[in-house]
Structure 1
């Protein structure tokens, strides 16, 4: 099962690191405790829509970009977890008498 909060945390961390920002910088910009942001990035806490918007603003990334990336990552994980159907081999059964 894919956990949305874990994927969201991974995407947020990636966005932060890609911008060369520390947790402290994002914390100050979003006015959210550093510990809480860390919990979100590790997938341990859920982020409300208001909190997510604050984090995006602090990192100068659009909410739609984050949601798009989360959606893409979730789709990849779902595909990886999907069962692979195996072909069923059917052989003709002969009913003629020898």
Structure 2
């Protein structure tokens, strides 16, 4: 599984959890409204399971959110995570033998 898939799954879970909590909704509340098992929603929020388009639509409806809004927020979250993974310009990595890799200013 590629890093992009993991980033998306984790970001989707983070966005859904943040919105649920912003609305002061429990997992149990969301589960009842979306008619999706509490355990499955929990796994989605923790980035452990993929949400099908149908399931995502049900969660968005239960949260009274447009799907496009959730996807936009997820996209922004993924972009932030990708940028955090980019190498820092001006740093050079050197091998220190058995000591491992060290970053130092060029």
Q: Same fold (TM over 0.5)?
A: yes
**2:67 aligned residue:** 63
Q: Secondary structure at the match of 1:55?
A: helix
C-alpha displacement at 1:62, in angstroms?
1.0
Unaligned runs of 5+ in 1: 88-98
1:33 aligns with 2:37: yes
CA RMSD of aligned residues (A): 1.3
Mapping of 1:5-84 within 5 angstroms? 5-84=9-88
C-alpha displacement at 1:84, in angstroms?
2.3
Structure having the higher Rg: 1
The structure 1 segments of at least 4 consecutive aligned residues displaced by more than 2 Å after TM superposition are 84-87
Would you tell me which structure has more strand in proportion to its own residues? 2
Q: How high is the TM-score relative to the length of structure 2?
A: 0.77
User: 1 or 2 for the larger relative contact order (CA 8 Å, sep ≥6)?
Assistant: 1
Q: Secondary structure at the match of 2:47?
A: coil
Q: How high is the TM-score relative to the length of structure 1?
A: 0.83
Unaligned runs of 5+ in 2: 92-106
